Amino acid sequence: MKKSRIGAIVALSMSVVSLSSLAHEKHDVMDSQSLPVPFESVFQDAMNDPNVLLYYADQAFRKGQDDEALRWVLEAAKFNHPAAIKNAKELIQKNMGTFENREEVIAFLSYHAKPKGEEPADLFAQLYLADYFRGEECVWFKGTNSECAVGDNADSPVAGNDLQRSYFYYEGAAKQGHEFARFNVGMMHLLGQGVPRNVPLGLDWLKPLADSGNEHVAYIIGAAYQEGYWVPKDEVKATGWFEKSSAQGHPAAMIALAKNLERGVITDKGEEVRMGNAVELYEGVLTSIVATHAEKSEAAYRLGMIRANYVPFMDESLADKQMSLAISHGEQEPNESMIRAIMWKGKKSESESLRESIKWYAQAIKYLETLPLDVHQKFASVYQHVAHAYARGMDGDLDRDERRFTQYMSRMHKLLAETYVPQVDPKAYKGYELFKFPGY
């Protein structure tokens, strides 16, 4: 028994030795087949090569993996690789993969939006960040479409809301001569958006645009001086800017200039010459293909008043036709000038037929009810005209009616008692919206 146990132990020992020798032999074979530089090391070094990163970006892009493509491109761009920077801008501009990589995109754009020594800041980066921080709804839109979706089921846009930072980047782009950025900087000062309101400084930013031929901006500047919008009122300066804008056919500027000519703001021209120039401007608005119905209505009304009241141009028949034209345009777009034209016809009819004049005043009331409360209140006297017509009557034309007199006077007082709260758009002036460069 003892000898058999000893034999088993010896056999087991020999077995272990044999296995150990086999393991060493296998290890020696593996060592002889290994490369001196392992793959992991090579791969890690490759990740520091922007060309390799661009290769991965290209492969991802070909597979439709926009987020992965942009991620690799942004990594390559960290090496200031020109091709990577160009590709990154292209993908960002088309909103391809930007939503998933927005933090990296911000870092990329912020780096390139700053000047580096003699090298100016990247204009694309400045404008993109400026649009982003102002809350532009089309920036970094979540989805595969590069266009902004609309409707209840549209994905939510991803944008910033920091007008101060937006101004910083717009100002940088404006200093590089970008006109859209210059317009935004000027309008932000004009409206007090992102910076404290500073209208004189805002006008200084806008003037080069007007001088270079933008008639819309010239009109904005003229309007600010005309009404004294946070600057000293100066109708002479305003007239000069209106002339610049009118020379390029801006309808609102043509009307504003014609009014100043009527009022004698410019004193170096005789009255008849001024009035003749005003007539030409109003007629130009009526033939303009860009003028709105409201602008044409006002031009026709002003012409009618000149034909009715100014001796050298007086023509009662033409005056009546111009008033009818003002009303006709107003039917397409109700406005104050059409109301004035209707009331002119109503007043003119009173001496011949009160019944006819009441028809005109009733038409004015119908359109006034479609206009804002402040305009309605401005022409509240129309109710008084109707009331007085019923109060006095006209033999063979209109019977006196005290009940209707009371009704119309009551309507006028009730209208005037209403409180009007002006609705001012803080991001627009004279119909021109901030961040929407006219003519751009």
What does the DSSP assignment read for 359-404? Answer: HHHHHHHHHHTTS-HHHHHHTTHHHHHHHHHHHH-BTTTB---HHH
Token couple for 217: 């901006």
Q: pLDDT-based confidence at 98, cuts 50/70/90?
A: confident
Residue range 195-228, pLDDT digits in tens: 999 999 999 999 999 999 999 999 999 999 999 9
In angstroms, the Cα distances linking 92 to 109, 112, 139, 150, 233 are: 10, 14, 9, 21, 46
| pLDDT at position 266 | 85
| pLDDT at position 95 | 86
Total-model pTM:
0.82
Instruction: Specify the residue for token string 């990589």.
Output: 101
| pLDDT at position 1 | 47
228: left (phi over 0), alpha (psi -120 to 50) or beta: left
Give the SS3 label for residue 167.
Answer: helix
Say if residue 6's pLDDT is above 70: no
Say if residue 12's pLDDT is above 50: no
What integer is the mean pLDDT of 106-124? 92
**Which comes out higher in pLDDT, residue 362 or 5?**
362
How far apart are alpha carbons 121 and 133 in whole angstroms?
A: 18
Of 227, 222, 211, which Cα lies nearest the Cα of 254? 222
Q: What are phi and psi of 433, to 5 degrees?
A: -90, 145
State the DSSP code for 121.
Answer: P
Residue range 390-404, pLDDT digits in tens: 999 999 999 999 999
Which range among 108-122, 174-188, 199-213, 295-309 shows the weakest confidence by mean pLDDT? 108-122
Sorted by sequence, the CB contacts under 8 Å of residue 176 that are 6+ apart come out as: 120, 121, 123, 126
Say if residue 30's pLDDT is above 60: no
Residue range 298-339, pLDDT digits in tens: 999 999 999 999 999 999 999 999 999 999 999 999 999 999
Q: pLDDT-based confidence at 429, cuts 50/70/90?
A: very high
Q: pLDDT-based confidence at 118, cuts 50/70/90?
A: confident
Residue range 264-283, pLDDT digits in tens: 998 888 899 999 999 999 99
Mean model confidence pLDDT for the chain: 87
Say if residue 161's pLDDT is above 80: no
How far apart are alpha carbons 225 and 257 in whole angstroms?
A: 13
